Structure 1
Amino acid sequence: MSYSEAQLHARKITWTLSIAHALSSTGFLASATITSIVGADLSGRTAWAGVPSAVYQLGVAAAALVLGYTMDRLGRRRALSMGFLIGACGAALATWAIVARTFVGFLGALALMGPASAAAGLSRFVAAEVHPVHERGRAIATVVVGGTAGTLIWPLLSVTLGPWLAGLHLSDLVWPFGVSMVLLALAAIVVAAFLRPDPGVIARALAEPHSHATGTAGGRVASLGEILRRPGASVAIASMVAGHAIMVMVMVITSLHMRNHDHGVAAISITTSLHVLGMFAFSILSGRLADRIGRAPVIMAGAAVLVLACVVAPLSPAFVPITFGLFLLGLGWNLCFVGGSSLLADQLSPDERARTQGFNDLLMGLVAASGSFLSGHVFAAVGYGMMGLFSAAVAVVPFTLALWWQTRARQRLSAG
Structure 2
Amino acid sequence: MPRSRMIRQVALLSAAQALFQTASVMVMTVAGLAGAAITPAPEFATLPVAAMFLGTAIGIAPASLWMARVGRRIGFVAGAVLGTLGGLLGALGIFYASLPLLCLGTGLVGTYQAFAQFYRFAAAEVATDAFRPRAISFVLAGGVVAAIAGPILGRFGGPLLAAEYAGSFLILAVVSLLAAGLLLGVDMPRPARSASSGGRPLGAIIRQPGYLVALFGAATGYGVMILAMTATPLAMLHHHHDLSAAATVIQLHVLGMFLPSFFTGALISRFGVLKVMLAGAFLLAGHVLIALSGTQFLAFASALVLLGVGWNFLFIGGTTLLTRCYAPEERARAQAANDLVIFIVGVATSLGAGAMLHLLGWQIMNAVLLPWLALAVLALAWLGWRERRG
TM-score, structure 1 normalization = 0.89
- Amino acid aligned to 1:285: F
Matches within 5 A, 1:9-408: 9-157=5-153, 161=156, 166=159, 169-192=161-184, 194-198=185-189, 200=191, 220-408=198-386
Q: Mind listing any 5+ residue stretches in structure 1 that lack a counterpart?
A: 205-218
- Amino acid aligned to 1:178: L
Residues 141-150 or 52-61, more deviating: 52-61
Shift of the alpha carbon at 1:350? 1.6
Q: Deviations over 1:251-278 (max 9, x none)?
A: 1011001111222221111111111001
Q: Could you say if the C-alpha distance between residues 124 and 265 of structure 1 is closer, same or farther in structure 2, counting changes exceeding 3 Å?
A: same
Q: Deviations over 1:222-261 (max 9, x none)?
A: 1211100111111111111111111111110110011112
Do the aligned partners of 2:126 and 2:188 also contact (CA within 8 Å) in 1?
A: no
2: CA distance, partners of 1:18 / 1:271: 24
Partner SS state of residue 263, structure 1? coil
Partner SS state of residue 116, structure 1? helix
Do the aligned partners of 2:94 and 2:164 also contact (CA within 8 Å) in 1?
A: no
Shift of the alpha carbon at 1:308? 0.7
Shift of the alpha carbon at 1:83? 1.2
Q: Could you say if the C-alpha distance between residues 399 and 51 of structure 1 is closer, same or farther in structure 2, counting changes exceeding 3 Å?
A: same
Do the aligned partners of 1:77 and 1:198 also contact (CA within 8 Å) in 2?
A: no
Q: CA RMSD in A?
A: 1.9
2: CA distance, partners of 1:103 / 1:18: 33
1: CA distance, partners of 2:163 / 2:299: 29
Partner SS state of residue 383, structure 1? helix
- Amino acid aligned to 2:67: M
2: CA distance, partners of 1:153 / 1:223: 42
2: CA distance, partners of 1:384 / 1:129: 41
2: CA distance, partners of 1:98 / 1:135: 44
Partner SS state of residue 93, structure 1? helix
Do the aligned partners of 1:13 and 1:199 also contact (CA within 8 Å) in 2?
A: no
Q: Mind listing any 5+ residue stretches in structure 2 that lack a counterpart?
A: none
Partner SS state of residue 133, structure 1? coil
Q: From the CA coordinates, give the structure whose radius of gyration is larger.
A: 1
Shift of the alpha carbon at 1:171? 4.3
Do the aligned partners of 1:75 and 1:200 also contact (CA within 8 Å) in 2?
A: yes
Specify the alignment match of 1:210 in structure 2. Answer: none
Shift of the alpha carbon at 1:153? 2.3
Percent identity between the two aligned chains:
30
- Amino acid aligned to 2:86: G
Partner SS state of residue 230, structure 2? helix
Q: Could you say if the C-alpha distance between residues 155 and 229 of structure 1 is closer, same or farther in structure 2, counting changes exceeding 3 Å?
A: closer
